[in-house]
Structure 1
């Protein structure tokens, strides 16, 4: 398998870096991404998009956290659940939805919230307006301070056309989980690579006893461990994304990459902080944003123990 980015993917990555580098404000970044056409990469041409696939979207995702449609993937004590306790019941010619979703990022700013629900005879993904009657958004804390919510649904009314239905049992929910996980991996890959680059530059520029910190053997060994972790996550995430973009079965690769990210990234970021010394915990220095985002991302995909359990179940059949 050749994971070398093609010209389109390379240009997408470069354009994303240029656009995002112009401002640190999330709202301005979002508008700039839209202005550059980077939010329409995967839309079909008849809807004004470029008709590209996951590989091109991932090239942008590892550098940004765009908003639009958000996904309500978790329920209390059930990350990425495939058997939702949120249910829909037919009433008066419409569906009424009841349940609780947790850890929904940017829910208040979303156009629609993609919400897995159980319906009579199977599952579906509901398209819920966060401003609809019966929707209650409760802000909850996150490590990085990004908006995150518990979404409570109490008799939310939806028409039959406001659902993504299953082509086969569990298809809609599984597809949502698959692409959400792949996007999280692309973002996590970028976060770990960014923290590595920041730390490597610091070690090359900071001197002690007349020598760059990178020249000390113990320091070199520790940053080498971070490099190995970053490259391992990158390879696993790229392999999973490549299979997904090629239309191949990527579920095992996604589970492997998710485990590596949740297991390796937190320890790697802790080492980056250690190698920065006191500067690593300074609020004015950007490293804390990488580590906070990694913590939130790891929690969003269930944590290392959950991911290892999912991988074990898949391997065991």
Structure 2
């Protein structure tokens, strides 16, 4: 097991950070956050032009031929600045089409997504169901077509995506369908970090067999890769939040001393450092096993547990050490707090992951 970053990971992370440093500022983020979807189209275009979007996709769809490790390196950098782009949802969906789709599906959907021309997403969250392997939406065969009914909630970038990967239950098990967003009834759902997810209603949407991506293997793959990607984004969020908090503890003087010199503050920062490193280690363990084609169910659950549990502690430590400015929405720190909370609960929080880990160990 070797977690040493590849040359491609280092180069891609450096390129991504350079673009983000030039573009993502506190003022620019405030401007973007006044919109409905917290989406910076100009930044998305820059990332596409620099081949950051395509790097982790296979060569047949115009990608760089890299994979999950490189994708996670990009997500860490995006998390460090809480960049307002739907990289995780779009590139994971494009990678699923590249892996499981037909030549036509790759040509019409994955390749444009690699170029940044289409935004994709996957509707993986199930209301009241932390293990969404049995989708609540239904798909039935009628007159040679599939008829989709039901609703999906909490779909990332659901209001701006061009295409949605929609899991639905059929008489033969789950299938994943590719549906244009404008064929669905869409309602924005504002979430904790001022981004918008979406509630999607399917009222008898009809699709042909050319819109079927695959079955339970595709759904399981999407859930696993999205979970690992969320962990990578969380590592970036927590790393930068800890850096900002450490800087504040060195500079903020109280009672004639930097607050970081007080034992209680120093202990909390030390605990936060351990939490961030644990989240980082478990992320790369899970990503490496998946990239090598090895079983990784327990490792993915472990990584998401640390992303959630450590994420909670680090986010609260950051706010507490900052004091009053920690809850000031004009201060950059608040973005890291709300981003960490969103990542904490995405696809199941700490308790859900412990249950999955227990099932994996028992199995």
TM-score w.r.t. the length of structure 2 is 0.83
Which contiguous aligned blocks of 4+ residues in structure 1 show a shift greater than 3 angstroms? none
8 Å CA contact retained: 2:133, 2:220 = yes
Task: Name the SS of the counterpart of 2:3 in structure 1.
Answer: coil
Give the Cα separation in 1 of the matches to 2:43 and 2:332: 17
Does residue 1:179 correspond to 2:179, yes or no?
A: no
8 Å CA contact retained: 1:95, 1:158 = yes
Change (3 A) 1:15 1:80: farther
Q: Note the C-alpha offset of 1:92.
A: 2.1
8 Å CA contact retained: 1:73, 1:79 = no
Give the Cα separation in 2 of the matches to 1:48 and 1:98: 34
Give the Cα separation in 1 of the matches to 2:5 and 2:256: 41
Gaps of 5+ in 1: none
Post-superposition Cα deviations, 1:11-37, rounded to whole Å, max 9, x if no partner, equal 111111111122235322211111110
* 1:159 aligned residue: 208
Aligned residues: 312
Post-superposition Cα deviations, 1:124-144, rounded to whole Å, max 9, x if no partner, equal 111111101xx1111123110
Q: Note the C-alpha offset of 1:99.
A: 1.4
Alignment of structure 1 residues 86-97 onto 2, 5 Å: 86-97=137-148
* 1:17 aligned residue: 17
Alignment of structure 1 residues 93-112 onto 2, 5 Å: 93-112=144-163
Post-superposition Cα deviations, 1:73-113, rounded to whole Å, max 9, x if no partner, equal 11221134101121111112211101111110111211211
2:51 to 37, 56, 69: 37
Give the Cα separation in 1 of the matches to 2:17 and 2:251: 24
Q: Note the C-alpha offset of 1:45.
A: 2.0
Does residue 1:244 correspond to 2:244, yes or no?
A: no
Question: RMSD across aligned C-alpha pairs, in angstroms?
Answer: 1.4
Give the Cα separation in 2 of the matches to 1:113 and 1:87: 16
8 Å CA contact retained: 2:290, 2:296 = yes
Alignment of structure 1 residues 232-311 onto 2, 5 Å: 232-311=278-357
Q: Note the C-alpha offset of 1:213.
A: 2.1
Give the Cα separation in 1 of the matches to 2:151 and 2:330: 37
* 1:117 aligned residue: 168
Give the Cα separation in 2 of the matches to 1:301 and 1:189: 16
Give the Cα separation in 2 of the matches to 1:198 and 1:243: 32
Structure with more helix by fraction: 2
Gaps of 5+ in 2: 29-39, 79-85, 91-118
* 2:197 aligned residue: 148
* 1:59 aligned residue: 73
Task: Name the SS of the counterpart of 2:206 in structure 1.
Answer: strand
Give the Cα separation in 1 of the matches to 2:60 and 2:305: 38
Task: Name the SS of the counterpart of 1:195 in structure 2.
Answer: helix
8 Å CA contact retained: 2:307, 2:343 = no
* 1:2 aligned residue: 2
* 2:115 aligned residue: none
Task: Name the SS of the counterpart of 1:22 in structure 2.
Answer: helix
Q: Note the C-alpha offset of 1:280.
A: 0.9
Post-superposition Cα deviations, 1:261-316, rounded to whole Å, max 9, x if no partner, equal 11221122111100011111111111111111111122222222222222222222
Q: Note the C-alpha offset of 1:43.
A: 2.5
Task: Name the SS of the counterpart of 1:276 in structure 2.
Answer: helix
1:230 to 272, 276, 294: 276
Post-superposition Cα deviations, 1:150-188, rounded to whole Å, max 9, x if no partner, equal 11111111110111123xxx2111111111111111111
Task: Name the SS of the counterpart of 2:293 in structure 1.
Answer: coil
